[in-house]
Chains A and B, each alone.
Chain A
Amino acid sequence: MEYRIEVENLNVYFDELHILKDISLQIPKNAVTSLIGPSGCGKSTFIRTLNRMNDMISTFKMDGTVLLDGEDIYNPKVDVVELRKKVGMVFQKPNPFPKSIFDNVAYGLRVHGISDKDYLAQKVEESLKAAALWDEVKNILDKSAMGLSGGQQQRLCIARTIAVEPEVILMDEPCSALDPISTTKIEDLIHKLKNDFTIIIVTHNMQQATRVSKYTAFFLHGEIVESGLTEKIFIEPEDKRTEDYITGRFG
């Protein structure tokens, strides 16, 4: 099997707090991997380590290796801007910019120096289509993204991420602020996107993990208890703690 991301013996600290403990995990290419576990177990910290969003926190310290396509992303020579182009992120709460729908999707391309109008228009259309939002917004591209519903905003954020053609998309509980219908739309979208992107999704929703992902990793107190095929984790978990969590006995 081909892996997009390989994490080996990763430890993360904030000041003296040991948040992630000796994490090793391999993320298969062009598939969806779910990260599950109770709140505060380190899932979000983990995915924010993969696009170096934790760098902004002054107390952040880490050791171990994180390889993207075999290259260490914490190598001092790595350009964080280039890394984040390859590893996009969708946040828990939809966070479109207070700009027009068009400018939101074009933003990533523009900051990377693309200004050709025809090319931008074409990429914006492609990305909105890929995010299953085009039909709803094609006539209001110049209107503010803040006027869209929460579900539309989240799909816009996905379109914005797709537009810069990342290899990996990190999703940090992308549906937790959305209603069930919007959630279904996002899940359908994830199904569509998994052929072209490697997707890592943090979720608190067990059903969602089984619906969208091929692989699952179960986090507890900063460690990975168990990881592997989603079916295996949910039908015959090896660890008692995994079983307790997925059957709702704690968490």
Chain B
Amino acid sequence: MHRVIPPKIAQKIMTGVFWASGLLTIVILLVIIGYVLLKGMPALSLEFILGNPIRSGRSGGIFPFIMSSIYVTLIAILVATPLGVGAAVYLSEYAGENRIVKLIRFGAETLSSIPSIVFGLFGLAFFVIYLGLGWSVLSGGLTLALMALPTILAASEVSIESINKSYAEGSLALGATKWQTIYKVVIPAALPGITTGVILGMGRAIAEAAAVLYTVGAALMIPTSLMDAARPLPLHLYILATEGLSMQNAWGTAAVLVIMILIITVVTNVLVDRYRKKMMGR
């Protein structure tokens, strides 16, 4: 066999290639976040964050939109987490390998690849019109819940499946029931992975404009009930940019959105890390 490239050289080249791809990923991330923050910085001020919009957002602040984002995302997570984790427990602990299980998994996978604008249309037809919930925080939150569900389900299932089966055996051998075993041993052990899934789902929900476009309305005031119309940040950003109201405020809104997502991600990572250390003793 004739080798074109000696193995040691090939090793060096490939190490370089992998190193470069890793580095490039970080650089791309930093450039995007840095660019958004840089462009948004001139708009950022306390009044911008805590003030009300003036003339449809041409000037003034974005506080109602920050609150709208928090509300719809909270609803999405509060609805999707129990459903997703419940389905994950069912799939990994109760259901065997049968056709229904395969169907659920296939359904979840398909759901996660449906474009968000389609979710928006479905939300309009189902929540807004059919259930009569109108353009509201509730309709938007429920639409986002549908989008976050497959992400939470998939991450939870992987996490629960990866829990050492010997924990469950030890629990059952002590006379615990299956439910006690799941609730007291399996889920706490899987919690870091489940939390990661919830955060991914939350990230999907909070960043979504298309899915809320037809479902939450476009109110300029802070929603005070579930049935009030609202305007989450991505939607406000979309309106500012497409209608050419104020590019500077559009960048400011984008910067606030990015900062919010960064805070959520960093805080949960720290908490999960701390929990894992406590649980595993190192």
Which A residues fall within an 8 A CB radius of B? Answer: 51, 53, 56, 58, 81-85, 88-89, 91, 93, 95-99, 107-108, 110-112, 143-148, 157, 160-161, 164
Which B residues fall within an 8 A CB radius of A? Answer: 96, 164, 166-167, 169-177, 180, 184-185, 188-189, 278-282
* A–B complex contacts, Cβ < 8 Å, 18 sampled: A53-B172, A58-B96, A81-B176, A81-B177, A85-B175, A91-B166, A91-B169, A91-B170, A91-B173, A97-B167, A107-B184, A108-B176, A144-B279, A146-B279, A148-B281, A160-B170, A161-B174, A164-B174
Contacts of A82 in B (CB 8 A): 175
A45, chain B: closest CB distance, angstroms: 14
B211, chain A: closest CB distance, angstroms: 37
Q: Which of B96, B172, B177, B280 has the most CB of A within 10 A?
A: B172
- Contact A81 to B282, CB < 8 A, known contacts A91-B170, A98-B188, A99-B188: no
Q: Which of A89, A97, A147 contacts B282 (CB 8 A)?
A: A147
Contacts of B184 in A (CB 8 A): 107, 110-111
C-alpha spacing A81/B164, complex, angstroms: 22
The answer on a CB contact under 8 Å between A144 and B280 is yes
- Contact A53 to B167, CB < 8 A, known contacts A147-B281, A147-B282: no
B17, chain A: closest CB distance, angstroms: 37
Q: Which of A56, A93, A161 contacts B166 (CB 8 A)?
A: A93
Considering the complex, give the chain B residue whose CB is closest to the CB of A163.
B174
A60, chain B: closest CB distance, angstroms: 14
Contacts of B172 in A (CB 8 A): 53, 56, 84
Contacts of B173 in A (CB 8 A): 51, 53, 84, 88-89, 91, 161
Considering the complex, give the chain B residue whose CB is closest to the CB of A83.
B175
Contacts of A91 in B (CB 8 A): 166, 169-170, 173
Q: Which of A51, A99, A148, A157 contacts B279 (CB 8 A)?
A: A99
Considering the complex, give the chain B residue whose CB is closest to the CB of A94.
B166
C-alpha spacing A151/B261, complex, angstroms: 45
C-alpha spacing A84/B174, complex, angstroms: 6
C-alpha spacing A123/B32, complex, angstroms: 58
The answer on a CB contact under 8 Å between B174 and A98 is no
The answer on a CB contact under 8 Å between A98 and B175 is no
The answer on a CB contact under 8 Å between A112 and B282 is no
Contacts of A146 in B (CB 8 A): 279-282
Contacts of A58 in B (CB 8 A): 96
The answer on a CB contact under 8 Å between B188 and A81 is no
Contacts of A93 in B (CB 8 A): 166
Q: Which of B164, B169, B189, B281 contacts A53 (CB 8 A)?
A: B169
The answer on a CB contact under 8 Å between A111 and B174 is yes
The answer on a CB contact under 8 Å between B279 and A107 is no
Q: Which 9 pairs, one residue from A and one from B, show the smallest C-beta to C-beta distance?
A: A147-B281, A144-B281, A95-B166, A108-B174, A84-B175, A89-B173, A85-B175, A111-B176, A146-B281
Contacts of A160 in B (CB 8 A): 170, 174
Contacts of A84 in B (CB 8 A): 172-175
C-alpha spacing A141/B195, complex, angstroms: 27
The answer on a CB contact under 8 Å between B169 and A95 is yes
Contacts of B169 in A (CB 8 A): 53, 91, 95
The answer on a CB contact under 8 Å between A98 and B189 is yes
C-alpha spacing A182/B280, complex, angstroms: 21
Contacts of A148 in B (CB 8 A): 281
Considering the complex, give the chain B residue whose CB is closest to the CB of A142.
B278
Q: Assuming A98-B188, A147-B282, what are 14 further A-B pairs, CB within 8 angstroms?
A: A51-B173, A84-B172, A85-B175, A95-B164, A97-B167, A97-B170, A98-B189, A99-B279, A107-B174, A111-B177, A111-B184, A144-B282, A147-B280, A157-B170
